[in-house]
Amino acid sequence: MTENTVEVLLVEDNPHDAEMTIRALKKVNLANRLTHLKDGAEALDFIFAKGAFADREIENKPKVILLDIKMPKVDGIEVLRQIKANESTRTIPVVIMTSSKEEQDVITSYNLGVNSYVVKPVDFEGFARAVSQLGCYWLIINQAVE
């Protein structure tokens, strides 16, 4: 693992939800190599090493992307579409973490290849537990393609 390796890429525009996610991952020691981005355009630039992230080593892919759907500039569905359409990024596990229970969002996400679709629990304890379990599964238990 190189110095600039990102294990968790959190793409979340809501500062409260981002802070709760980061805190939950820190609690189980899974936030050491976390990068938080606030919109889909930033996420695409990061993932594909463009724009402000053009000097990033594109080979250093996140081990998991935690992605909100409803975001400014580029929504999570479009970010997911571009990740899964690109041969070099399609194997990165993507977990949609959203407040949207809309059936069409769920169907579209799975049709595009999302690895998991999680509706954010409203209470902090439930939210923290869900994030901790997701982090443990995707970073420790899951056997990823390198």
Tens-place pLDDT, residues 72-85: 899 999 999 999 99
Is residue 3 scored above 50 in pLDDT? no
69: tokens are 């759907």
3-class secondary structure, 31: coil
Alpha carbon distance 114, 26 (integer Å):
24
Tens-place pLDDT, residues 22-78: 988 888 887 778 999 999 999 999 999 999 999 998 888 898 999 999 998 999 999
Alpha carbon distance 50, 130 (integer Å):
32
Angle between helix 15-27 and helix 124-136 axes, rounded to 10 deg: 60
Alpha carbon distance 72, 70 (integer Å):
7
Q: What's the mean pLDDT when you consider all of the chain?
A: 88
Closest CA to 86 of 50, 51, 136: 50
Alpha carbon distance 41, 1 (integer Å):
26
Is residue 1 scored above 60 in pLDDT? no
Domains of the chain: 8-139 (3.40.50.2300)
Its pTM stands at: 0.89
